[in-house]
A and B are shown apart, each in its own frame.
Chain A
Amino acid sequence: MEKALKHRCPVCGMDVDVPADYMPGELVEHECGVVLELVENGGRLQLRVFGGVEEDWGE
């Protein structure tokens, strides 16, 4: 893993390590128990609580 980027969990406020080579759409499970989705807004990384998807394809 490349050097981690420090971000703040939007739920518990604690630090979240995000790999420098992250891709938007990756999910990160934080130690507080929440699953965070890495998204970009105007090229800036944001962390938001993953809310699932409305429809899906299964296996």
Chain B
Amino acid sequence: MSQGPTVLFTYDILREDEKLLLRALKELARVNPIHIPSTPLQIGNPNRVAADIALVRGVSGRTALYGAIAVESWGIRSINTPESIMAASDKAYTHLSLSRKGVPQPRTLVSTDPQAIPMAVRDIGYPAVVKPVKGSWGRLVNMVRDEFEAQLVAEHRSYLGVDLRASIIQEYVEKPGRDIRTFCVGGEAPAGIYRELSGGFATNIARGARASPVRLDRELEDLTLRSCEAVGVEVGGVDIVEDLRGGYVVLEVNPVPEFKTTQRVTGVDMAGIIAGYVVSSARR
């Protein structure tokens, strides 16, 4: 066992990403894993757990957020912070944060009532993209091409739970059949991938998009780091599209990114880089 610092590792499901991270962390540090779903978390009890730093993971956004809240309440620095996870979990708030840093984004409206979606889409212009304010993996993301589809999406949304009724409505950015996922780790941008469409218009790997390495030019690197800084994440993923009208546009920032595909196609040791950053942060 390593004699390095002690790292809390909070998680819910042990995917390949989490296993890679655990393996990398154990080479550098003592690791104390906490399975959040089976562990009631006392909040507001400093020194409850002895650790130098925490790496917060979670397939579920709530697992990541509540894990971060708990460990920070124990006086342990969390990567990422609860504030940044909250900011990145809400696409409207992310938009505000990125706007404040001048990060280019699609024109965006927010609607708390599904009945207002058709009006928002008319304002944006067809085609538009309607997304729940919370969520990822491209779920419930719809392209709306006309008034009929806008009414249809509004009706579907009205039957969903309260958490999924709030939507953002964005202009559809014409892209070259792919988008880009880049990563930031502690102020560096170590890698990125193209995600090529495999049908439909969503380019999430979870939905079957194909991945290939992207060379990070200065603009991509700058956008990646500015986006993560804007939201406050130290370890994050940034979704970027190449606008056919010119330049890049940032769609969202992910505070608990999967990276196994990026590691596989780029050969960059993402798990080792993240683990190294966490351990070096504990020593500072």
Contact = CB atoms under 8 A, between A and B. Distances in A.
Interface of A: 23-27, 37, 39-41, 50, 53-59
A55 B12 contact: no
A59 B38 contact: no
B224 interface: no
Interface in B243-266: 254-262
A27 B254 contact: no
A53 B59 CA distance: 7
Nearest to A37: B13
29 contacts: A23-B35, A24-B37, A25-B35, A25-B37, A26-B14, A37-B13, A39-B35, A40-B38, A41-B38, A50-B13, A53-B12, A53-B13, A54-B62, A55-B134, A55-B135, A55-B136, A56-B60, A56-B61, A56-B135, A57-B64, A58-B137, A58-B205, A58-B206, A58-B254, A59-B205, A59-B257, A59-B260, A59-B261, A59-B262
Contacts of B165: none
B137 A56 contact: yes
Contacts, number: 75
B13 A57 contact: no
A59 B206 contact: yes
A50 B35 CA distance: 15
B237 interface: yes
A53 B14 CA distance: 13
Interface string B26-48: 00000001010110000000000
B167 interface: no
Nearest to A54: B60
B259 A59 contact: yes
B256 A57 contact: yes
B196 to A, nearest CB: 14
B181 interface: yes
Contact of A25 (B14, B61, B237, B259): B14
Interface in B178-208: 181, 204-206
